[in-house]
Copies of this chain bind each other. A is one copy, B any other.
Amino acid sequence: MKIMGILTSGGDAPGMNAAIRAVVRIAYSKGYNVLGFEKGWEGLITNTFRQLTPRSVGGIINLGGTILLTSRCSRFREKDGIREAAKTLALNKVDGLVFIGGNGSVKGAFELSKETDTLIVGVPATIDNDVYGTDETIGFDTAVNTAVAEIDKIRDTAISHERVFIVEVMGRKRGFLALTIGLTVGAEVILVPEEKHETHEIIETIRENGAKGKRSGIIVAAEGVGNTHKLARKIERKTGAEVRLSILGYAQRGGNPTARSRLLASLFADEAVRLLLEKHGNKVVGLGDGKITSVDLKKSCETEKPLDLSLLKLARVLAT
C-alpha cells in the first residue's frame, strides 16, 4: 500500500477543500492510503493527522476554508522544524506529499525537499495569485468575484452621493487582485505595488473625470501601495470631491469557491497525483498557456511571477 500525505498551508483560500477532495479521491482510486496532516506544516512537525477516505471528503467541494485547518507555522521556518517534519514523513512511510498553499508554502516545501526522500508536489492555492509557475491559483477567481460584488454595491453609494471611493483590496506585495478587480469593476484608477503612482496624477484624473461629467469614481488600491487614508484626505483637499475609504477585509478569503476555483482544484489535483505516481517530485503544478503543467519547486520559489502591466493601460482607456 502506497501512502500519500496531504496538507493545506498558509492563508486559507476558497477551493482548498475542493482540492483536498480531488487529491484524496484520485489518490484512493490509484491505490493510495491518504493521511491528512492538520494545521499545515505544524501537523507534520507534531505528527498530527487523520486518515482521509473518499467518504470523509464528501460534501466539501463547495465549502470555503479547509477541513484540514491551516496556519502560518513559524517553527517550519527553521532547520529544526523542517527536520521534525521530515522525520514524520519517514515515520509514516509517506511516499508522496501534496501541499496545497501559496508562495510561502512553496518556499517551505523546497526547504523540506532537501531533508526528505518523500516526493513533494504542490498545488497552488492562494487568493494572492503570486505563485510562479501558474497563471492562476485556486481561490484567486473567488476572491476577485467577492471583491467585485462588493464594489458593485459600493458604486451604488458612490453614484447616489456623487462621491469618490478608494477601495483597498488584499495584496501586501503584489497587485494581481487589485489589477483584475479594478479592470472588472471599471475602476477609474488602479494602484498596484508593482507600479509607482504619483498622487498628483490621480488627482488630475479625478478632476478630468469631473470635467467630463463623471461625478463619482472608484479607485481600487492594493493593500501594499501605502497609506490610503492619507491619499483619501489629499484627493479630497485638492479636488473638492467627497472621498471615502473602504477596506475590503477578510471576506475576500472565504466563501463558497467559484466554479473556476473548483475546476482548477480538480485539474491541479489530477496532475499532482499523476506526477507522484510517475515518481516525479519537487514540483508545483499549474496552469500555463491554457494547459495543466508543472515547474520545479526551486524555480517557483526563486522566480517572481510577473504582473502584466499592459492591462493597467487598457484599464485606463476603458475608464475614460
Interface residues of A (CB under 8 A from B): 8, 11-12, 14, 16, 21-22, 25-26, 28-29, 39, 54-55, 58-59, 61-66, 69-71, 135, 141, 144-146, 148-157, 159-162, 165, 180-181, 183-186, 212-214, 244-251, 253-256, 258-260, 262-263, 266-267, 270, 287-291, 314, 317-318, 320
Contact = CB atoms under 8 A, between A and B. Distances in A.
A164 to B, nearest CB: 12
B141 A259 contact: yes
Contacts of A259: 141, 144-145, 148, 180-181, 184
Contacts of A184: 61, 259, 262-263, 266
Nearest to A146: B153
Contact of A65 (B39, B160, B180, B255): B160
Given A156-B12, A266-B314, A141 B246 contact: no
Nearest to A181: B259
A214 B249 contact: no
Contacts of A69: 159-162
B247 A247 contact: yes
Contacts of A26: 317-318
B320 A253 contact: no
A253 B157 contact: yes
A183 B266 contact: yes
Which among A14, A71, A153 has the highest number of chain B CB atoms within 10 Å?
A153
Contacts of A59: 159
Nearest to A64: B156
Name the 8 nearest CB pairs between A and B, nearest first: A153-B254, A156-B254, A64-B156, A246-B249, A65-B156, A290-B290, A65-B160, A153-B255
A17 B216 CA distance: 19
Given A59-B159, A65-B156, A185-B62, A320 B251 contact: no
Contacts of A181: 259
Nearest to A162: B69
Contacts of A154: 249-251, 253-254
A150 B287 contact: no
B213 A64 contact: no
Contacts of A157: 11-12, 64-65, 250, 253-254
Given A65-B160, A181-B259, 4 more contacts: A54-B320, A69-B159, A152-B254, A183-B266
A61 B197 CA distance: 25
